[in-house]
Amino acid sequence: MNQAKTISLMVGLTVLFVLVGRMLGGNQGMVFAFILVSAMNFGSYWFSDKIVLSMYKAREVSEDNYPDLYAMVRTLAQRAELPMPKVYIIPQDSPNAFATGRNPEHAAVAVTNGILKLLSREELMGVLGHELSHVKHRDILIGSIAATIAGAISMIASLARWGAIFGGFGGDDDNGGNFIFVMIFTMIASLAAMLIQMAISRSREYLADEGGARISGNPHYLASALAKLDAYSKRLPMQKANPATAHMFIVNPLTSGKISQLFSTHPSTEERIRRLENMV
């Protein structure tokens, strides 16, 4: 199922780029856009994890410098019957975590400095179990690619908007009509980027919560961790968090108000906690 979603996302990105290339540069623009999006699809499949980790300046750690964290990940990975993932630390005080990679054999788990300071050992086990559940369900690739695609959609929407302003539409004389069309297109493209993240994230978070509770051994571990993470991340949102990657984190790293909660990439923390407690 996730492989089909990944292919669908890549095909959708290709079509979107080619259409924009056609509007901005005619046939030549269409060919250029196809070459560009082909390179992006290749890069997003093979390097999306490295791109996301580099966005947050995450550094890989070993058992020598973080023995407790490394041993915890190894123990939980063994319980989940997964290969040992790479472990990364994000230099941020905001408490959060995510997993990335193209498959379980090339997976990585990243946690912030803030989460290591905030959570107890049991709560951290719940969070790591959640991230390893993402790895086990093989939805880390689609999450990483969705982050790349959401950023790409925002980029082409901006490109189309500037192209409309400066009249770059392959020689078409009806610039006024094109301008209105592209303005509508950019709004739809931005909405599409948000919907891609929402569609991917909300359902899989519940599944990862359930799987994480089983891997860690107690649903209360993750439930307690989510309550703390939700409260602290709202008071201390992640610095320079990229909206295109928000869906990858265990809790939303962005500041959220009432309206933004409606379009959040994450289900409500209260509902997630309720479902975990019902597992007991």
pLDDT, tens only, 129-140: 999 999 998 877
The total number of residues shown for the chain amounts to 280
One-letter amino acid of 80: A
Query: Taking the model in full, what pTM does it have?
Result: 0.77
Is residue 242 domain-resident?
yes
Compare 258 and 24 and report the one with higher pLDDT. 24
Is residue 272 domain-resident?
yes
Is residue 110 domain-resident?
yes
Is residue 84 domain-resident?
yes
Is residue 54 domain-resident?
yes
Virtual CA dihedral for 237, 124, 78, 97, nearest 10 degrees? 0
Is residue 255 domain-resident?
yes
Range of the domain at 146: 50-151+182-279
The number of helices, as runs of H, and strands, as runs of E, in the chain is 9, 4
Q: What is the pLDDT of residue 271?
A: 95
In whole angstroms, what separates CA 131 from the centre of its chain? 12
Q: What is the pLDDT of residue 258?
A: 44
Name the percent of the chain lying above pLDDT 70. 66
Of 110, 195, 208, 86, nearest in space to 146 by CA? 195
Per-residue pLDDT at 183 exceeds 90: no
Compare 263 and 214 and report the one with higher pLDDT. 214
Catalytically active residues, by annotation: 131
Is residue 85 domain-resident?
yes
Using the Cα atoms of residue 59, residue 84, residue 40 and residue 242 in order, give the sign of their dihedral: negative
Q: What is the pLDDT of residues 245-276, one digit of tens each?
A: 888 899 989 865 543 454 466 889 999 999 99
Of 108, 51, 52, 46, nearest in space to 77 by CA? 108
Of 189, 78, 191, 63, nearest in space to 129 by CA? 78
Is residue 205 domain-resident?
yes
DSSP symbol at 244: G
Among 38-42, 56-60, 147-151, which is the least confidently predicted range? 147-151
Residue 177 Rama label (left phi>0; alpha psi -120 to 50; beta)? alpha
CA distance linking residue 119 with residue 229, whole number of Å: 9
Number of domains in the chain: 1
Q: Which helix (H) or strand (E) holds 270?
A: helix 269-279
Compare 8 and 53 and report the one with higher pLDDT. 53
Identify the CATH number of the domain in which residue 244 sits: 3.30.2010.10
User: In this structure, what token pair is assigned to residue 234?
Assistant: 């709202």
Q: What is the pLDDT of residues 185-204, one digit of tens each?
A: 666 666 665 666 555 566 78
DSSP symbol at 62: -
